Amino acid sequence: MKRWISYPKAEGEFSRQAHCDLPDGTFEREMGKEGFFGPACHFHHKHAPTGWTEFDGPLRPHAFDLNRLEVRAASPFQAYPLLSNGDARIRWWLLDAPMPALARNADGDELLFIHEGEGALFCDWGHLDYRDGDYIVLPRGAMWRLEPRQPTRVMLVEASGSSYQLPEKGLVGPHAIFDATALDTPKLDDAFAAQRDGEAGSRPWAVQVKHQGKLTTIRYPFNPLDAVGWHGDLAACRVNWRDIRPLMSHRYHLPPSAHTTFVARNFVVCTFVPRPIESDPGALKVPFYHSNDDYDEFILYHRGSFFSRDNIRPGMTTLHPCGFTHGPHPKAFAAGLKAERKETDEVAVMIDTRFPLEVNEPARAVELHEYADSWKPKA
């Protein structure tokens, strides 16, 4: 049990409630432990905490335009390696033809987020169609392949050495955000039987296995996806962002952790989906400024207009490393003060990692280096 040095105190001008009814002319900044779950302090500043003029050194906010990555790959293990640490590996994959071989990740569970496209997934448990906005969880060791019907763009997130689980939903109960019945599992249907018993079932197949970061190919004279039945409580599953019913409060801007979809060792995956914006006059209408003190934050912008950012398009990503304060762009903050928008239309996937993410070369090649300047006060 943690014994935080924790004691609620207050000094000077302050608000009775975080993120609400701030002292006139001030900007709130949250500094906390364990993301949004530990002790925290809320400062009230005269100037926006992101009103910097320059960064001099390696630490800075990053933006990457993944739309500029165009090389197709037949295997998920040939996908662009974007960012990684000891717990998570984030890759970007473009696929426009059926995978010629099966894939098996022996290094951790695999999470696929379908950014664009539609098609069919075949795996140990059967057949499952996919479309844009789907999350697909493939347990460590699963054999699988995709057959796109439309060109497909996928963000893959490996839980290295660990497993994906659902978040603890606490007071709101197990049916909040999405019910477990929204998790679809594959079927041993006619499509699966056709690939098992037809031409695809009789020809030789290869399985590419990733173990300790290295690939091994195992060859079979038949299709090893030949199950005729299964039972148990471990399976691949799918949920779409359209199935998510976000937690909301009209009087208080909830922290990003309220939108957690999956948890793994030392990182979480959150989903931002359309929702009404806070209507209480005193409540913040945009994300609050906060210091990244324990976590790196990576976001993929999937669709819509992200209400705390300017000039961010679908297919772009941002990385805000631990060590500096971040929050809404000035124009978005001003719009929030005026309550110009009544609801969001954004869909985005956020990955918060407990340990720093290393930016790999494919991401550096499509980095928008001017991103750090987008918070500068306009002359």
First and final CA of the chain: distance in angstroms? 50
326 annotated as belonging to a binding site for a ligand: yes
pTM value is 0.93
335 phi and psi, to 5 degrees?
-65, -35
Q: For residues 226 and 201, is the Cβ–Cβ distance under 8 A?
A: yes
Residues classed as catalytic? 253
pLDDT digits 0-9 by tens, 150-192: 999 999 999 999 999 999 998 899 899 999 999 999 999 999 9
Tell me which residue of 66, 141, 158, 140 sits closest to 357, measured CA to CA. Answer: 158
The span from the CA of 351 to the CA of 298, in Å, is: 5
318 phi and psi, to 5 degrees?
-130, 155
Distance (Å) of CA 41 to CA 1, 2, 284: 21, 18, 17
Say what the pLDDT of residue 224 is. 97
Q: Is the dihedral of CA 279, 22, 257, 292 positive or negative?
A: positive
pLDDT digits 0-9 by tens, 221-232: 999 999 999 999
Q: For residues 307 and 346, is the Cβ–Cβ distance under 8 A?
A: yes
CATH 3.40.50.720 fits 27-64+244-372, yes or no: no
pLDDT digits 0-9 by tens, 237-283: 999 999 999 999 898 888 888 999 999 999 999 999 999 988 888 88
Strand bridging mode 316-320 / 296-303: antiparallel
Say what the pLDDT of residue 349 is. 98
Strand bridging mode 205-211 / 102-105: parallel
- Residue 379 clears pLDDT 60, i.e. is over it: no
User: What's the gap between Cα 335 and its chain centre?
Assistant: 26
pLDDT digits 0-9 by tens, 84-111: 999 999 999 999 999 999 999 999 999 9
- Residue 302 clears pLDDT 80, i.e. is over it: yes
290 annotated as belonging to a binding site for a ligand: yes
From-to residues of CATH 2.60.120.10 in the chain: 27-64+244-372, 70-241
* Residue 7 pLDDT grade (very low, low, confident, very high; cuts 50, 70, 90): confident
Say what the pLDDT of residue 292 is. 67
Query: The domain 70-241: what is its CATH number?
Result: 2.60.120.10
